[in-house]
Chain A
Amino acid sequence: LAKTTQPISMDSYEGQEVNITCSHNNIATNDYITWYQQFPSQGPRFIIQGYKTKVTNEVASLFIPADRKSSTLSLPRVSLSDTAVYYCLATDKLIFGTGTRLQVFP
């Protein structure tokens, strides 16, 4: 099964750019990569999704290289409210990893 691997935790300060990388070596041809954000006591919330190259929306960017064995979520100028757990997901496999716990400090 395609399993994703992410750093367990990351720290940052307000205003900095944060890049979270996800490794997915066994991704299938029809898999998209989706990132979710989860706050304590809430369900995950969709952030961004991509297949390859770069995708940008109003909250984040997602870069997937040509070999599609990894992806990087980029959060520009984080704020305290971005403190959460971030999950990457190979869509067709529905397997969430343990996620990356991002802590933003003032």
Chain B
Amino acid sequence: NAGVTQTPKFRVLKTGQSMTLLCAQDMNHEYMYWYRQDPGMGLRLIHYSVGEGTTAKGEVPDGYNVSRLKKQNFLLGLESAAPSQTSVYFCASSYSRVGETQYFGPGTRLLVL
């Protein structure tokens, strides 16, 4: 099992460009999450999904959109990137939310110039 994988590992964008980050999990988990982590900070929840076709906002959703068309994939989109979105993005998944362990991917480093 690969667990949780993220694509790409690193990306540089110019202000105003768009991109999509892909998260994939092979553990048949229902719940998936996108977090961002700024230098020296903890993780902040952007969006999450409780199942295929569903999404919900987290703590810092502005400037991001997500989609969960397939159970194993969770996409994070930036429509018009801003320097403030320079961060490391982590995806995670869990079987359910309450009381369940989250499994994290290796992260995507995004630099917006």
Does B67 sit at the interface, judged by CB under 8 A? no
* Segment at the B interface, from A17-25, A36-44, A75-83: A36-44
A64 to chain B, nearest CB (A): 13
Interface pair A46/B103, CB less than 8 Å apart: yes
Interface pair A94/B106, CB less than 8 Å apart: no
Contacts of A91 in B (CB 8 A): 97-100
Interface pair A96/B43, CB less than 8 Å apart: yes
Interface pair A92/B105, CB less than 8 Å apart: no
| Chain B 34-74 near chain A by CB (<8 Å), digits 1 or 0 | 01000011111100100000000011000000000000000
Q: DSSP majority for the A interface? A: loop
Q: How many residues of B contact A (CB 8 A)?
A: 25
A-B complex: 6 closest residue pairs judged by Cβ atoms = A43-B104, A96-B42, A96-B43, A46-B101, A32-B99, A98-B42
A99 to B107, CA, bound (A): 18
Interface pair A42/B45, CB less than 8 Å apart: no
Interface pair B41/A98, CB less than 8 Å apart: yes
Interface pair A95/B45, CB less than 8 Å apart: yes
A96 to B36, CA, bound (A): 11
Interface pair B44/A30, CB less than 8 Å apart: no
Q: Contacts A32-B98, A87-B42, A99-B42; is A43 near B106 (CB within 8 Å)?
A: yes
Does A54 sit at the interface, judged by CB under 8 A? no
Among B33, B104, B105, residue most surrounded by chain A Cβ atoms (within 10 Å): B104
Interface pair A43/B98, CB less than 8 Å apart: no
